[in-house]
Amino acid sequence: MLAQRSQRMHDLEFGGPSPPPDMDDQSTQLLLSIEPYEWLETDHSIPIVSPSYDEADNEFAQDAEEFARGLDSLSIVRKSPSERRAQIFKLVDSYYQYAANKVHALRKSQGQLSRTGLRRSYDASSQDSMDIDVDSPPGSPGLAEIIKKWELEAQTWDLLRRLLPLRYPNKTSLKPTRHDVTRFQSCSELWDEFLQEDTTAQERKAVLECLQTSADESRIDIDDLVRDYQQRAERGDIIAYGWLHTRSAIKMQKNLNSWSGALDPNASDVVQKLRNGSNPLVTQLDPDVATRQNRKLQPQDEYFERAIWLGCYELLRRGRSIAEIRDWCVERTEVWRAVSMSAMPLSKDEGEGRFSCDPLSMLLWRRTCFALARQGGTDDFERAVYGVLSGDIPSVEKICEDWDDFVFAHYNALLRTQFDAYLMKRSPPDSTAPITQSFPAFNAVQFHGDADSVGERLVKSLETNANTSAEAKTPMKTLQAAILSNSLDQYTYELGLALGNLANKDNVSALIPRFGTPDQNIDDTKFVQPTDHSGLRVLVHVYLILSSLEELQGGMHKELSERLKVQENVVAAYVTTLRLTGLTDMMPLYCRQMQGDRAFFTLSRNVTGVTDPHEREILLRLMEKLDMDIAEFVQFQPRSLLQQHPLPEEQQPPFGRFTVFSNEPPTLKYGRPLKPDFLGEPPENLNDVDEHLIQSLEWFLLVDGLWHEFFHYGTAIYKRFLKQFNFHAARALSERVRCAEVFRRKAAIINIVNDDDEDASWFDEVRASAAAGSLLEEHGIGPEEVAAAQNYFEMECLIRALDSMETVASSELLAQDPTEQVGREFWSNVGREVRRIKSFMRPILNNWLMESIEEDEDFTYLRDAYLPETIIGYVSVLHFAGTTLTRDNLLECMELASVIAKKDSDVAAVIMKAGRMKELVEGFANCSKALAISSNDKKGSGGINSKKMMREHGWTRDLWSVKK
């Protein structure tokens, strides 16, 4: 599965349209469900991927793969800075398209063509007499929540795809040239010049378009939105022809009272008879009559009026073109409303509805709209419509319901104020003075103060606003606020701090370290939590895209500062998420984005759960494709582990740290009994650090070369285990990374190295061949390479000898148990273990750890700690084997005594130093007694069984036979 996904990831050509997401796709790798904060357990064993998974896990895998494929394209192709910048913008656009496709697919699965979630009640502006019930949302709450999540993500990517090209322009772009000031330029031409010259205005226009698009996509259809008011207007399906009920009431009173012509609203009979309950009714039907006469419409027509103004506001809020606004109003025979909005609706589609009035008319129109927003109208929505058109804030805020609405109100006001100032600047002062002095307008720029920090102060104010505080502090809105205020760098820094605080809340995390002081004021709830995998996916790609653009601009990532390390916590958290969800093949792509050693550190700590050699090879190939130095990676693993987890400097005296003997007295038949399981009860799992150290050596076997490096770290790891008397880790290393396997894999030496490698003599044969130069040309093995491997081999022999001794000790216990039935196979196994011990003891008895490339005091410590006990134990093994298998083993024990007694023997001095010579001599004496009284060969092999070898050693069995 890993190979299939990586192949799809790297073989697809990036740049084509993203396929629409299939909601029923079940082809992605099986994932595991993650408990809260499980991602923090970075120093524990990696959880195994479970075959059980749910749709959410599967969906995350699909999304993560799609985003990784896009990011991968930036890593592969080498292009010029301008081409790379364009490719980054194209990537952001593809992320937006993917999120938008997700929204459409989810709506389709819910049976919606457009979102029909909670209807907007506009309670903030509803008069008591016009409360509308809120319909229950259709569909499942879970699906509605998922749709909302993807709508927010699509909006976030939309913001970025509009703003990033403005904030990171091509430095070679030509500056626009301003035309000569002329009184005959239309507002449309001046608008274009205004946007070309003012980058702040470009950004605000982009934000408005994003908010308009989002509202148009996510809100309920306008006709559905006003339907409730339309029904309360009691006019059936008639949506046109104005105030029907008020017209009927006036007409009826005219007929009853024989009135004709226009009615005088101040006439006593009109005031008395033409009423709406306790309120006087309007006497005419022109649009501003209610305001002018300060009279009411019929209640049904008030609902109709509110429906019309609500629709007009939504048309402006959604950025509909003037043509769409006109069509909507014409359908309701209210075309005058479209005309009143036509001067400058700021539609999101710039290709339509260009305003062509002159600048002075535009200035006057804006101020007229402002007067209506503040002083005119009978309904909050009517005032809000004119507030949007004039760039007013208070009148629009009155009907705002969410964060987007408030941001829209402020950015709309700022942009219109900027353009108003531009028009006055480009128009003759004597022409603008009568307008500006007679008709006031809201100055949003002055209202917000310092222009450089408008965005930041606006989003901060929304966090304290009672209407938006809760929403403003949600993770995705916090991210959007950072985008608006152009503070993504600070946002990712604070996010990194928050992740570090959370990761180190209970235990210290090496993957996601804590920076700064614990009392720093960071509100963790405002940021994406580590268990929100989709949120982390969005954030890490936003951060990486921003970092790439900054690098192109030459603004950051030039040095590995602490601030950068904090921000990279975001990447580290996402890599951990990929590990926990089984998407390990994507981890190299994201680790590559990190600076310095942290890239390898994060990757190495997260690949510990990858134990299959084939999957490891795939990861290495992916790393190579990403231009990552795999040789450095495999070396980094053991180096960093040894540095991160050093042994205590103080160490106990070497002698007496472990024993292979039981407390039972020696016997003539079995000699001094060995202790069963003297290496200790094997644990179910190794300590994490020990396991990772062994794994680090396994990775070496997958990379060509690095001969000296492997044995350097391998020797250091063996020393670590043996100094700690960590027999289980040492035994695991001897089983999983055999020295013979290293020679086979790295030097392709197969003929000399036996497959079972139970006979340690292969190393002497390789040494001899290397000394003769016969291995150098074909295998690259000379005396230096053999010397580099010698200490590793010698320590492996020790642990394998002890392991077999422990097996013999257990067999000895079984042999003495009268209830156990032992047969030929049992003794055959004992003989095989004895042969292995003899083979492994040969290097131990011959200058063990005395020949090394560099002098090492640790080797002296290990010789003192292990040689005396191991050799005395070996004597007991030979004694037991000689009395149970063949007395040839006793002869070998006598030969061992002569070897140790030689003048050039290195082991005698160690045994004397340990004060164990008496024990050794007693062991030899017991063997000699057993040899003297033992009979011929018994149950199985395990001895010499070679007359030629006996002659070469000058041995004879008869010499030790006691005859009567």
Residues 776-803, mean pLDDT to the nearest whole number: 92
Mind listing the pLDDT tens digit for each residue in 629-646? 999 999 999 999 999 999
pLDDT number for residue 76: 65
* pLDDT exceeds cutoff 90 at 243: no
Q: State the DSSP H helix or E strand holding residue 279, giving kind and residue range, or none if neither.
A: strand 279-280
Q: Using CA atoms, how far apart are residues 468 and 465, in angstroms rounded to an integer?
A: 5
Q: Which tokens sit at 720?
A: 């670590």
DSSP symbol at 584: G
pLDDT number for residue 229: 78
Query: pLDDT-derived band of residue 135, with 50, 70 and 90 as boundaries?
Result: very low
Buried b (16+ CB within 10 A) or exposed e, 177-195: eeeeeeeebebeebbebbb
Residues 424-442, mean pLDDT to the nearest whole number: 89
Residues 889-917, mean pLDDT to the nearest whole number: 90
Q: Using CA atoms, how far apart are residues 463 and 475, in angstroms rounded to an integer?
A: 12
pLDDT number for residue 118: 40
Sign of CA dihedral 612, 616, 618, 619: positive
pLDDT number for residue 114: 47
| Helix residue ranges, H only, 110-179 | 141-167
Q: Using CA atoms, how far apart are residues 673 and 866, in angstroms rounded to an integer?
A: 18
Q: Using CA atoms, how far apart are residues 282 and 378, in angstroms rounded to an integer?
A: 13
Mind listing the pLDDT tens digit for each residue in 92-120? 999 999 999 999 999 888 775 444 444 44
Query: pLDDT-derived band of residue 33, with 50, 70 and 90 as boundaries?
Result: very low
* pLDDT exceeds cutoff 90 at 779: no
Q: Are 114 and 146 in contact (CB under 8 A)?
A: no
Residues 750-767, mean pLDDT to the nearest whole number: 76
Query: pLDDT-derived band of residue 172, with 50, 70 and 90 as boundaries?
Result: low
Q: Using CA atoms, how far apart are residues 654 and 443, in angstroms rounded to an integer?
A: 84
Q: Using CA atoms, how far apart are residues 946 and 807, in angstroms rounded to an integer?
A: 25
Residues 418-423, mean pLDDT to the nearest whole number: 93
pLDDT number for residue 412: 96
Query: pLDDT-derived band of residue 816, with 50, 70 and 90 as boundaries?
Result: confident
Mean pLDDT of the chain: 83
Q: Which tokens sit at 771?
A: 């000394």
Q: What angle do CA 386, 477, 209 make, to 5 degrees?
A: 40
**Coil vs helix vs strand at 280:** strand
Mind listing the pLDDT tens digit for each residue in 1-17? 343 444 334 343 333 33
What pairs with residue 671 in β-bridges? 667
847: left (phi over 0), alpha (psi -120 to 50) or beta: left
Rg of the chain, C-alpha, whole Å = 43
Query: Averaging pLDDT over each range in 159-168, 453-462, 854-863, 945-954, which range is the top one?
Result: 159-168
Mind listing the pLDDT tens digit for each residue in 551-567? 888 755 456 688 999 99
pLDDT number for residue 86: 92
* pLDDT exceeds cutoff 70 at 957: no
pLDDT number for residue 372: 92
Least confident window among 54-58, 457-461, 727-731: 54-58
Furthest-apart CA atoms within the chain: distance in Å: 160
Phi, psi at residue 680, to the nearest 5°?
100, 160
| Helix residue ranges, H only, 581-682 | 587-591, 598-606, 613-625, 630-644
**Better-predicted residue by pLDDT, 818 or 580:** 580
Query: pLDDT-derived band of residue 279, with 50, 70 and 90 as boundaries?
Result: confident
Q: State the DSSP H helix or E strand holding residue 276, giving kind and residue range, or none if neither.
A: strand 275-276
DSSP symbol at 674: B
* pLDDT exceeds cutoff 50 at 855: yes
pLDDT number for residue 109: 82
Residues 932-950, mean pLDDT to the nearest whole number: 56
Phi, psi at residue 485, to the nearest 5°?
-85, 5
Residues 260-264, mean pLDDT to the nearest whole number: 76
Q: Quick check: pTM over 0.85?
A: no
Distance, CA of 894 to chain centre: 65
Percent of the chain at pLDDT > 90 equals: 50
What pairs with residue 661 in β-bridges? 674
pLDDT number for residue 112: 56
Q: Using CA atoms, how far apart are residues 231 and 304, in angstroms rounded to an integer?
A: 9
* pLDDT exceeds cutoff 50 at 220: yes
Phi, psi at residue 592, to the nearest 5°?
-60, -25
Query: pLDDT-derived band of residue 132, with 50, 70 and 90 as boundaries?
Result: very low
* pLDDT exceeds cutoff 70 at 139: no
Q: Using CA atoms, how far apart are residues 727 and 800, in angstroms rounded to an integer?
A: 10
DSSP symbol at 843: H
* pLDDT exceeds cutoff 90 at 379: no
CA dist 560 → 563, 585, 594 (Å): 8, 26, 10
Q: Using CA atoms, how far apart are residues 382 and 404, in angstroms rounded to an integer?
A: 20
CA dist 325 → 235, 337, 341, 367 (Å): 23, 9, 9, 21
**Better-predicted residue by pLDDT, 542 or 231:** 542
Q: Which of 528, 806, 573 is nearest to 680 (CA)?
A: 806
**Better-predicted residue by pLDDT, 829 or 178:** 829
Q: State the DSSP H helix or E strand holding residue 96, giving kind and residue range, or none if neither.
A: helix 81-109
Residues 896-921, mean pLDDT to the nearest whole number: 90
Phi, psi at residue 825, to the nearest 5°?
-65, -40
